[in-house]
Amino acid sequence: MPTGLDLDHPNAARVYDYFLGGTANWAIDRMLGDKLLEAVPIIQTGARVNREFLNRAVRYCVRRGITQFLDLGSGTPTVGNVHEVADKLEPGSRCVYVDLEPVAVAHARILLDQHGDPERHTVLHADLRDVKRVWKDAVATGVLDPSRPIGLLMVSVLHFLHPQDGVAEVAAEYRDLLPPGSHLIISHATLDAVPDEERSQFERGVELYRLSGNPAHPHHPDVIRGYFGDFRMVRPGLVWLPDWHRDAGAYHHSARLADNPSACCFLGGIGVKD
């Protein structure tokens, strides 16, 4: 049992794992997950659309020469992890996972021990808000070369940070540390411009997360776009996840929302540091 594990309260990372069909979750997480599914029937599809976006984004980066990744708030490992996607295109790719949730870290270590390469893959138990420590420890692993472009992922994590945490400042610190040519991958929840039915459902979902002790903070698209700073946005820019490079392959869950992409309530994109 991982040190610091709290089984008295649900955890957003483990609920996300439940939605993705993983096994690294407990009854308390499934209880919240079931309540969320009742209130927001589309939420499981949204989680899987988010995972498909991560897959497309990683593939995009590898095809443009990005072969090392830093995945912040990586969550509990499940099908389609960053290193698995990257390794299919570039067997020498590298990845450092970072998460604060003990179960996510413990399962990631097991996964990497069994199927990873210790010289190319590792996981850190750390708080992504402690930017200097995360960067220092990630580089110290020897997995990342800070002189070469890095794919930095903040996928479905920033909206779980409280605005008082200075989210924009945290994102800016990471942008400053990235070497030129790096790609910043972000997906983030928003309730703006979402159809009324889905918006009202997700508002109930946000309230359930708050009551569970896992508050989520959807933001206006302008706020989310600000996390990219002056990075050049890859076309088509910051868009609904099903619309981001929808022609990049067969992605079943994203295709289900092709006619109503805003129903997923998630925006995403990639910014490049020139």
pLDDT beyond 90 at 2: no
What is the rounded CA–CA span in Å between residue 203 and residue 265? Answer: 11
* Structural domain of 227: 12-272
Phi and psi at 5, nearest 5°, equal -75, 130
What does the pLDDT average to over 216-245? 97
In a domain, 183, yes or no: yes
What does the pLDDT average to over 209-217? 87
pLDDT beyond 60 at 1: no
pLDDT confidence of residue 174: 98
In a domain, 151, yes or no: yes
In a domain, 2, yes or no: no
Query: What CATH code is carried by the domain that includes residue 40?
Result: 3.40.50.150
With a threshold of 0.75, does the pTM exceed it?
Answer: yes
**How sure is the predictor about 43, in pLDDT bands with cuts at 50, 70 and 90?**
very high
CB-facing half-sphere around the CA of 28: CA atoms within 13 A: 13
What does the pLDDT average to over 38-46? 94
In a domain, 70, yes or no: yes
In a domain, 7, yes or no: no
pLDDT confidence of residue 107: 84
**How sure is the predictor about 102, in pLDDT bands with cuts at 50, 70 and 90?**
confident
What does the pLDDT average to over 47-68? 96
pLDDT confidence of residue 75: 84
- Beta pairing class for 239-240 and 151-155: unpaired
In a domain, 5, yes or no: no
In a domain, 6, yes or no: no
Give the least confident one: 83-92, 154-163, 193-202, 220-229. 193-202
pLDDT confidence of residue 225: 98
Q: Average pLDDT, whole number, for the chain?
A: 92
What is the rounded CA–CA span in Å between residue 241 and residue 261? Answer: 7
Percent of the chain residues topping a pLDDT of 90: 76
Answer with the residue of higher pLDDT: 95 or 255.
95
Phi and psi at 101, nearest 5°, equal -80, 125
What the block records as the tokens of 60 is: 């995009």
pLDDT confidence of residue 249: 67
pLDDT confidence of residue 111: 85
Q: At which residue do the structure tokens 């776009």 appear?
A: 225
pLDDT confidence of residue 251: 79
In a domain, 4, yes or no: no
pLDDT confidence of residue 9: 82
The C-alpha torsion from 15 through 104 and 86 to 149, rounded to 10°, is 110
Domain count of the fold of the chain? 1
Residues 266, 50 contacting (CB under 8 angstroms): yes
The residue type found at 153 is L
For residue 123, what are the β-bridge partners? 97
Residues 149-179: tens digit of each pLDDT: 999 999 999 999 999 999 999 999 999 999 9
